[in-house]
Structure 1
Amino acid sequence: MEAKTTNTIKAVLVLIVVAQHLCFAIWSSLYFDPVISALMIFRGDVAVGCLFLLSGYVVAKYATIKKNVWIMDRLGRLIVPMIAAFLLMYVCYKIGAGNWGVKLSSMGYEWGYVSPIGFFDDLSIQDVLASFLLQLVGFNDQLVLVAWLLRHELILSLTIFAIIGGVSKSRKYKNEIILASLLLMLIISFYFKFGFGIHSAFYLGAVIFFINRIQSTLRKVIPIECFIALSFFVYTLVVINSMQSDEWRVELISNNLAWLVLLLTDVRYFTFSLALPFIAFVTLVITKKSSMVDGFLEWLGGRSYSVYLVSQFAIQIVAMVVYKVGAYVPSIVFAGLVLALTLIMAEIFYRIIEVPSKHIISNLKLGDLNVWNKFRFKKA
C-alpha cells in the first residue's frame, strides 16, 4: 500500500472522527439518530477501528525496514505530540476558564461534549501532568478526550517491535514465524476483548501485511475484489446492527447467537475495521473524479494525527469565542469555524510539534552526544 493511498484513506477516516466530535458538541441528538448512526457518517468508532487496522499495517511495514531506529521514531512521534496536546489543554483553560459549556446549552446548542474546560472551576499544571500519567497506566481520565489512544498505540507498537525483533535472527521461515505470532496475538486479543477490538484490529493490519509479503514471495495474490466484497458485507452488517433495538440483540442471545452480539458490540472496533477495504474503495473512486479533492485528502492524511489531537481544542476555542460574544451562531457556521480552525491548528501543530518529534528520540542515539554537536560552533 503506497503512502499516498494510505494518507488519502486516513484523511477520510479522521474527518469522520472530527464529525463525531462536532456532533457531541452541537448536534448531540443527531449523533443518535437511527439513520445517521446506521450510515456511519458520524461514527468515529468506525473510523477508529479502521485507523488502528491501518496503523498495524504501517507499523509492521516500517518495523521490518527501519528496525531499532523505527521504534525510537515511533515513541517520539506518539509521546511528544500528546504531551503538547496536554499543554495546549492548559493554555486553553487559562484563556477561557468558566462554565461556558453550560452557557452554550442555554443559548440553544445541543451541547453533549463533556469538556473539563467548560465545567471545571480550577485546573493546575499538576492536574494536567497527573491526567497524562493516568492515561499511560490505563485510567481513562477525560481531561484530553483523545488521549486514550496513546497507551494503546504504545503497547501495540512495542509488541510488534518485540515480535519482529525477536524473530529477526531466524534464518528460516522468518516471515512465517512472525505471521504465526501475530495470528496468536490476534486470537488472544479478540478472545479477551482487549480495547473492545482495537488491539484485534491493529494485529489484523499487521497480519495482512505479512500475508501480502508471503504471497508476493509465492506469487499468489488474493484478488482485491474479494476483500472489497467481504468488507461491503461487513459494512452492511454494521448498518443493520446500528438500526436495531436492544431487544433485537437480546433475541439473538436467546437464539444461541451470542457470538454475533459479541462481535457487533463488545469487539465492535474489530468488526468496524473490517469495513476498511470498502471505505477505501469508495474513497479512491471519489478522488479519481477530482484531482483537487485527491490533493487535499493526501495533504490532510499526512497530518491526520495532528488533526486528531487538535480537533477537541478547536471546538473549545470556537465555543469560548461564542460565549464571550454572547450571540447565537448558527450550528452550521459553528461547525465551519471549527473545521477551518482545526485545519489551521493542525498545520501549525504538524510543523512545530509532530515533524520534529518524529526523530527526537532516535537522534539522541541512546546517550551518544552527537546530537549536541549540531549546536556547537564549527571551528574556523
Structure 2
Amino acid sequence: MNCVLAIDIGGTKLAAALVDEAGSVLRSATRPTPRTEVMAALTALIAEVTVDGPPPLAVGIGCAGPLDLAEGTVSPVNMPSWRGFPLRDEVQALTGLPTVLAGDAQCFALGEHWLGAGQGSRALLGIVVSTGIGGGLVIDGAPILGPTGNAGHVGHMSVDPYGERCECGGRGCVERYASGPNMARWATENGWTPGRPTGTPTEKPGEPADEPTGEPAVAPVDTPAGGPTGQPPGGPTDTRTGRPVDTRAGGPTREPAGGAMDAASGGPTAEPADARALARDAAAGDPVALAAFERGTRALAGMIASVTAGVEVTTVVIGGGVSAAGKVLFGPLERALDDIAGLPFVRAVRIQPSTLGVRAGLAGAASLAWRHHTHSP
C-alpha cells in the first residue's frame, strides 16, 4: 500500500503518521516535545511509526516557525534549542526519503483544504487562533508558501497602525488583540476574574460600531493622552471609543470592594485567567469577557477583510484552541466582518470552523508530501 510519512512539530507535541493517498491514517503516534534533544525524540517517534509498516514514499513536515525553506531550517519560537536547525536535511538523512517542509499553520490550511471544511474551495485562508495566530493560503489547490516559507503570518498583519506594540516588535498586530492570551490579558486588565461576574462596560458588547470616521477598521487602543502605547491617566480605555473606563473599586469593570483580587494584581484566583475560562464566562454573559471577544474578533475581521480584498479568498477556515469557543467567537466575528467589509466579493467570503481539529496539521503535512511525490520528476 502506498503511503507517505507526515510529521507535525509543535512546542508541546510531536506527531507522526503514515497516510495513504485517500488521507486515511494507517499508523500514528505522538509524544511530548522535550525542551532539549528534540531530534532524538523525533527520531524515536519516526521509528515507532514506520517499523514493520509499509514503506513511505516521501516525508512531509509541518513545523512551528519562523522557518527558511531555501535552507530547510527552522527556529520555532517555543523551542529554544532549535535555532536555524536544519530540520529538512536531518529528516531526509534519517529516512533516506524526499522531504518537504512547511509552516504548521500552512499545513493546517492544506489539511482543511484536502479533507476538512475547505474542500472544494479555489481560494482558502486557514487561520489558527491559539497562543498565537498563524495562517496559510491555498490557491487553486496549491499552498502559497513564499520565498522563505513564511507567507501566511496573518497574525502579524497590522489592523491599527497606532495600536499596541506587539511582541514581534510591530504595532497593531492582530495577534495582540485576538490571540487567546492577549484576549485574557485585556479582560483581566479591565476587571475580569474567572468565574466572578463583572460589571457592565461603558459600551455594551455587540453594539454597532460608530459610523466611519476615516480611522482604522479596529479602533486604536490606549491611544489617548499618554501616547500610542500608554494609557490615559484615568486607566484603561473603552475598546472602540477610546474613552476612559472607570476602574475604581466597585466601579463598572472591577470586583466590588473586598472581592477577590484579579489575576493581573497577583492575587489568588480560583483558576487560571486563560482563554478557556474567558470563553466560558463570555458564554455565561459576563460583559467584560464578551467585550474581550468583541475586541478580538473585530481585529480578526479587519485582517480577513484585508486578505480577501488582496487575494480574493472565498473560504476562511478557523481552528486552534480559541476556536473551541464556538458561537462566542464566530458570532461577533460574523457581525464585525459584516460591518467592516464593503466590496461584494469581500462580503461574500464564507467563514467555517475547522472540522479536522488537531488532525489538520498531520493531514496537511501528508498532502505536502503527496504533492511533492506526484510532481517530482
Q: TM-score range by the shorter chain?
A: under 0.3
- Structure 1 length-normalised TM: 0.21
Higher strand share: 2
Q: TM-score, normalised by structure 2?
A: 0.21
From the two aligned structures, give the one with the greater helix fraction: 1
